[in-house]
Amino acid sequence: MTAELQHTLAKSAGFSGTSLHTGEKVTLKLQPAPVDHGIKFKRKDLADEPTIDANVANLKTVERATTIGEGAVRVHTVEHVLSALSAMGVDNAIIEMDANEPPIGDGSAAPYVEVIKKAGTAAQEAPRRFFDVREPIHVESKSGSLLVLLPDDKFRVSCTQAGPNNRFTQFFSAEISPALYEREIAPARTFVYYEEVAPLMEKNLIKGGSLENAIVVRGDAVLSKEPLRFADEFARHKILDIIGDIALIGPRIRGHIIAVKPGHAANADLARAIVKQHAKITALSVPRTFPPGEGGLDINQVMEILPHRFPFLMVDRILGFEGETKCTGMKTVTVNEPYFAGHFPGHPVMPGVLQIEAMAQVASILLMKLAKSASRIGYFMSADEVKFRKPVFPGDTLFIHAELIKARSNRLAKARCSCVVNDAVVSEGDLMFTFLDK
């Protein structure tokens, strides 16, 4: 099973321009960063060049843009560059700036995609971190925003955008991948409704705003230097913003965000709710590491990994691992097993279904060792080609073999398994199972 690896930039690259809200000239440069570094902003214009982690804990304000800060240091309007880095598959990077706000470019994320492509990306020797959505999370705002996060095996965003009096109602939905993002989402530009311009200017915002880098909607008219790039450009830009704001949670999401009239404040509320849920799940599952090498595991180590307990723990010991794909366990079958009281009185035989369970438990240990995490549980999905060749009696010692034959992502796996007594196969089968966090 091949885990998705973290990525950083292959080299540094950048560009210069005007910032949207402050109107200042700014040069931005993206730099590579080590494993588990995450995304950090570095203020090159300040003494000691302080850095700010791009995470939810540092969220400050969400007035028409997302601002993060630590102490007195701030970085404004981070959503476009974060959106591009996240969607283009960059996990670790330093964003150097000589002002407090990135360049707005043409109001889209396309300039950032170009910089990332210019720098290139490089895989790193560590698996990506994911948040697998297991139950719905939703947030609502008084302004009418509604965001729901649902379970999904990919990252998808669906957005319905509507302006004042439901003008320019649009819908767009997509599974987010680097290729789709670059083509369908990154070029979508920021927009503003004419009636909101004066209040924003009164708040000393959008000083760098112009028809060069934003679309202005006045009544039913669209004011822009060029025509709309997409008929649903507003909905697409809202998805761009959602990706950037949600990137502040850290781990990548496997889930489906459904958004109705989203905004930065609602996006931030969803990000906080995700972090809260993630913390709750993490607290319930203390990660355990496997002993290095191919040696075995004693019963105490087995019980640290498997959640099963008497009378359903079907593995007494793991004898050893062979490479990344094979594992052998054992179980001593005694007459004291609780199932012998009824299966069958006077002729005790180990139930075949419990032999399958023993195979599944050994296969689960193999997969968790491969994933380098014991904080998950394997669940049966199917059992194929199952055969019971000989009965198993009290006094027998089961040697349980599992070999990984198929894996998809780090959630689905298929293992060929067998139980052996005195060098003879007594049962066998191909088991398919999925893994979920405990």
Catalytic (active-site) positions? 264, 343
**Number of alpha carbons in the 13 Å side-chain half-sphere of residue 28:** 28
Amino acid residing at 350: M
DSSP code string of 262-309: --HHHHHHHHHHHHHHHHHHHHH----PPPSSS--B-HHHHHHH----
Coil vs helix vs strand at 51: strand
29 SS3 class: strand
Report how far apart, in Å, the C-alpha atoms of 7 and of each of 57, 120, 351 are. Answer: 23, 10, 48
Q: What angle do CA 224, 230, 234 make, to 5 degrees?
A: 70
Pick the closest to residue 256 from 141, 137, 143, 84 (CA basis): 137
- Tally the C-alpha atoms within 13 A of residue 303's C-alpha that lie toward its C-beta: 9
Count of Cβ atoms closer than 10 Å to residue 385 Cβ: 9
Please give the C-alpha separations between residue 75 and each of 46, 52, 97, 264, in angstroms, as whole numbers.
12, 8, 9, 15
Q: Please tell me the distance from the alpha carbon of residue 352 to that of residue 155, in angstroms, as a whole number.
A: 40
Structure tokens at 434: 């999925």
Helix (H, G, I), strand (E, B) or coil at 423: coil
Q: Is residue 377 helix, strand or coil?
A: strand
- Which residues, 6 or more positions from 128, have their beta carbon under 8 angstroms from its beta carbon? 3, 4, 5, 6, 91, 251, 252
Which residues have C-beta within 8 Å of that of residue 246, sequence separation ≥ 6? 86, 253, 257, 267, 270, 271, 274
Sorted by sequence, the CB contacts under 8 Å of residue 434 that are 6+ apart come out as 378, 379, 381, 411, 412, 413
Q: Say how far apart CA 352 and CA 390 lie, in whole Å.
A: 10
Residue 120 has phi, psi (to 5 degrees) of 75, 165
